[in-house]
A and B are shown apart, each in its own frame.
Chain A
Amino acid sequence: MLVFALLFCLRAVAAAAPGSPFSSTSIFAPASTPARTIFGLSLFVLTVCALIFVVVGGLLLYAAVRFRGRPTDAGREPAQVYGSTQIELAWTVIPVLIVAVLFLATARVIHAIQDAPKPAAALDVTVIGHQFWWEFRYPKLGIVTANEMHIPASDPAHPTPTFLKLLSADTDHSFWVPELGGKTDLIPNRVNEMWLDPARPGIYLGQCAQYCGTQHAKMLLRVYVDRPADFAAWVGTQQRGAVQGAGVRAGKRVFETTSCINCHAVSGTAADGRFGPDLSHLMSRATIASGAAENTHANLRLWIQNPDAIKPGSLMPAMKLSDEDLDAVTAYLETLR
């Protein structure tokens, strides 16, 4: 009814400008095989349900109108019917058949997605969920990054899908980028797997879907699907060591001598913490705090000074630095391209 009518209007909305922070995350705008397969199944299920609704709802409406009591009835009772075995059989058998059909269609899709073979050209990414940010490791490429994942576009003729291994460092999370596929949870002491193969380059948005604590709402996800050349360039940037910038020695000293290094890592320095995101290439990311704010000078400075102003309840403590130290360390971080 209302729902189904609006659904198809929304298909149009869903095709809004991809890549902007305000772009759509509709499950009805699939951009990857798992999402597309699910979308096909969902249309089938929706159609069957809509038909059932029309038939049964129609009969209900008809009964309510046709058999309404009239003042002329007063006192007389209608025929007292107790049941009918044939009718009961009929309206048992038909639902059984409908269920059988729906189940078979569903089982096919379950296997297609979950038991899909992994091609040799697949990219491996390990995703580790944290309260309240995402860690991405590319084991074969030696890359560690956070919150914004880059993967190559997959050409249907020569597929290069990305296979994700999902782990958690603390509590339960769920990886959900609706246009690329269904969600899979990240559960501590358990390894889950899923795969994506988007063909069209762009930015795809998502967020954590399993309540994980205070800042579950701002554990946002960005997946950058790059053309092969762009992906190679990105890999190159991430693989080299952190930039050792000149002119920010004061800031670097602040960074290395305060508790920053307990949580964060910057390659080539004393900082080797694992609790917070790897900052080696912080400035290659468009957002900070797992998407909670744009990566600008003001936001970065504010985040270090008082994280609660951007993401109250996040596990980054306010660093209580003097203004001078704060400016210095911000300047240092801004050299980490």
Chain B
Amino acid sequence: MSTNAIAIENFQSAGRTWTEVLHEWVTTVDHKRLGLLYIGYALVYLVVAGIEALIIRIQLMHAQNNFVSPQVFNRMFTMHGTTMIFFVAMPVLFGFANYLVPLMIGARDMAFPRLNAFSFWLMAFGGLLLYFSFLGGSGLYGAGNAPDVGWWAYAPLGAKAFSPGHSSDYWTIALLVSGFGSVGTAINIIATVLGMRCPGMHLGRMPLLVWLNLVMSAMVLIVITPLTAAQLMLLVDRYLGGHFFDTQAGGSATLWMHFFWIFGHPEVYILIIPSFAFMSEIVPVFSRKPIFGYPVMVGATVFIGFVSMSVWAHHMFTIGMNSYANSFFTITSMIVGIPTGIKIFNWLGTMWGGRIQFKTPMLFCIGFLFQFLIAGLTGIMLASSPFDWQLSLSYFVVAHFHYVIVGGILFALFGAFYYWYPKFTGRMLSETLGKWHFWLFVIGFHMTFDVMHIPGILGMPRRIYTYEPRPGWETLNLIVSLGAVVQAIAILIFVWNLISSNWKGAKAGNDPWDAWTLEWSTSSPPPAYNFATIPVVASRRPLWDKKHPEDPDSRYE
């Protein structure tokens, strides 16, 4: 006789003042609430950084435009990049991990709930500090404002000599602080996954989302602190008269580049691996088949984790390294494409022979597959260092990485939103609005980022506030900018869907998608304690075993 995980009625929802509700959310240590806080925070900053992108695109619509001054433009691209990476992508992915990992392993919470809360608030404070830079700071004219050194803050541009005032300090300290938060969350995820799995859940039976977040967290441990180190060194240079990156004293500008990219390249894998996780959960459910090649998917991810730490200088092909160094980073950068490609093939293998349901989550996943394929291929082009000597620092690179981040990560994220929103809120998102969102966004995305490759090939560098009327540049930039507007409209539809469905959406029930992992065995939303009794599992798809007792997965694993 089985025990039921019964959801206790939430008596607390009746008759509380708004201050009590606020207090509850601010002091929460529940992984689900913190997950939602991370996601909500990231959505706010998505809109902010999106507006920064629109400002950039309006300025670049015409040659020699003066919608904004060069000083403002330089702040816009710096803040857009910094915000999107550190205060949109990282938090939203940590948010989903926070919510889902304990549920998927049959645990009641993360290993260290208070550390979890502390990590969130550190990250949140970092974001606020970064934006305070617009108001705060003193110093020379034009220098007491938002940072304008690019999101890499290359030396010596970040030094006191070239960056007087405090704008660069806001960049440095905001990221330093939120970096500690990221490390805290990574520690929490690893300790949770290794120490709190429900009985029967060997490492080989964990959902792929859990595996991939484990690998991502291990990477966070190793690569965030190099950025912290470099930033501490920058602060020593700026305030204690140090010479780490002081070229006048014999210091090296390229040392900053190495340190930054030793963080920066694995960082983008830290962002894409959770997106792979979403794909690996959603594609099987909507193909009605288990993931093809589970052990290979795990192995490929671990391999990516390792190899991604050996490719960093492909961001530095133009700095004048010798031919042996350039060859080394070319080969490693190409090698890392192999396990990544294998993952695409495995998702294809999952779809193959299935009965595909084209609900909104799956639409976004299919978009991911095509777009990530293209992004990977432009990545191979950039990995070929002589080709990169032309393409680097141009709009081709900007197109490539936005293809990965928007066409890949954001699409997978949208899929995740549509897939797990019912679990978080108990309501379904509107399929109609979802399809509008999807198609508008696909059109806008391709208008912008397909076309954007071409100015790069025509010689347009990045980070320029205006450009000469060279042949083709204006028309192409105009199309790119219009695509951005289309994407913005699609995002507004998405936000409206998120808000309105909370009240008007169809009731979801526990398991609206007929899925197979443990989070679908409890109510939507789950009770504070997740499960009344800790489950015991015998395979990778415990709910499949339950629904198909005549043919459980445990027989085949």
Contacts and interface: CB of A to CB of B under 8 A. Distances in A.
A83 interface: yes
Interface string B364-382: 0010011001100110110
A103 B331 contact: yes
A151 to B, nearest CB: 19
A187 to B, nearest CB: 5
A103 B329 CA distance: 11
A312 B356 CA distance: 57
Interface string A277-312: 000000000000001000000000000000000001
Contacts of B247: 188-189
Nearest to B321: A114
A78 interface: yes
Interface residues of A, number: 100
B471 A16 contact: yes
Interface string A113-143: 1110000000000000000000000000000
Contact of B459 (A21, A95, A176): A176
Contacts of B385: 106, 110
B221 interface: no
B397 to A, nearest CB: 10
A183 B316 CA distance: 11
Interface in A155-181: 166, 170-172, 174, 176, 178, 181
B159 to A, nearest CB: 8
B348 A26 contact: no
Interface stretch (A40-48, A232-240, A259-267): A40-48
A95 B337 contact: yes
A271 to B, nearest CB: 25
A181 B289 CA distance: 51
Contacts of A220: 468
Contact of A99 (B290, B337, B345): B337
Given A67-B351, A187-B320, A217-B465, A209 B330 contact: no
Given A82-B292, A103-B331, A107-B330, A3 B323 contact: no
Contact of A64 (B366, B380, B390): B366
B360 interface: no
B287 A42 contact: no
Contacts of A77: 288-289, 355, 548
Interface stretch (B293-301, B404-412, B497-505): B293-301
Interface string A14-29: 1010000111111110
B318 A45 contact: no
A229 interface: no
A213 B162 contact: yes
Given A57-B373, A63-B351, A187 B454 contact: no
Given A99-B338, A217-B467, A183 B370 contact: no
A141 B392 CA distance: 33
B294 A182 contact: no
A111 B377 CA distance: 24
A52 B459 CA distance: 26
A37 interface: yes
Contact of A182 (B344, B345, B386): B386
Interface in A182-226: 182-185, 187-190, 192-193, 205-218, 220
Interface string B460-479: 01111111111110000000
A178 B70 CA distance: 24
A187 B345 contact: no
Nearest to B161: A170
A160 B355 CA distance: 66
A28 B342 contact: no
B147 to A, nearest CB: 12
Given A83-B293, A211-B463, A26 B458 contact: yes
Interface string B276-294: 0000000000011110111
Given A1-B374, A99-B334, A102-B380, 17 more contacts: A24-B458, A27-B458, A42-B381, A52-B377, A60-B366, A73-B355, A79-B289, A80-B551, A81-B292, A91-B341, A92-B338, A102-B384, A106-B384, A178-B390, A188-B253, A189-B252, A210-B393
7 contacts: A1-B374, A10-B457, A56-B345, A67-B354, A103-B331, A185-B319, A291-B468
Closest 3 CB pairs of A and B: A182-B389, A25-B459, A217-B464
Interface of A: 1-3, 6-7, 10, 13-14, 16, 21-28, 35, 37-38, 41-42, 45-46, 49, 52-53, 56-57, 59-60, 63-64, 67-70, 73, 76-84, 87-88, 91-92, 95-96, 99, 102-103, 106-107, 109-111, 113-115, 166, 170-172, 174, 176, 178, 181-185, 187-190, 192-193, 205-218, 220, 291, 312-313
